[in-house]
């Protein structure tokens, strides 16, 4: 599943990088929990939680139904 998650994140990265941010995959648990680290402008941004839930989590769940949640670490 980690490879699938990386493939989806590769599609999202250009949008984050366009705003000076980034995302790094930290872990994918067997229970469907994805842990990521926001980088650059995304780190500490007031809209980071919305980006994480409405952008990253939504995109991952659409392509990988086994994903339950995305968490920033």
Residue 24 has pLDDT above 80, yes or no: yes
pLDDT confidence bin for 46, thresholds 50/70/90: confident
pTM of the model: 0.88
Residue 33 to residue 17: CA distance in whole angstroms: 24
DSSP 6-64: HHHHHHHHHHHHHTTEEEEEEEE-TTSEEEEEEEETTTT-TTHHHIIIIIIIHHHHHH-
Residue 11 has pLDDT above 80, yes or no: yes
Q: Give backbone dihedrals phi and psi of 6, rounded to 5 degrees, phi first.
A: -60, -40
User: In order of start, what are the domains of the chain with their CATH numbers?
Assistant: 2-72 (3.30.300.130)
In the prediction, which pLDDT does 44 show? 76
């Amino acid at each position: 599943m980690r490879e699938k998650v990386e493939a989806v994140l590769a599609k999202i990265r250009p949008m984050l990088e366009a705003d000076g941010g980034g995302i790094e995959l930290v872990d994918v648990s067997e229970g469907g929990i994805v842990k990521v680290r926001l980088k650059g402008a995304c780190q500490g941004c007031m809209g980071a939680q919305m980006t994480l839930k409405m952008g990253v989590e939504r995109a991952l769940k659409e392509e990988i139904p086994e994903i339950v949640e995305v968490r920033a670490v």
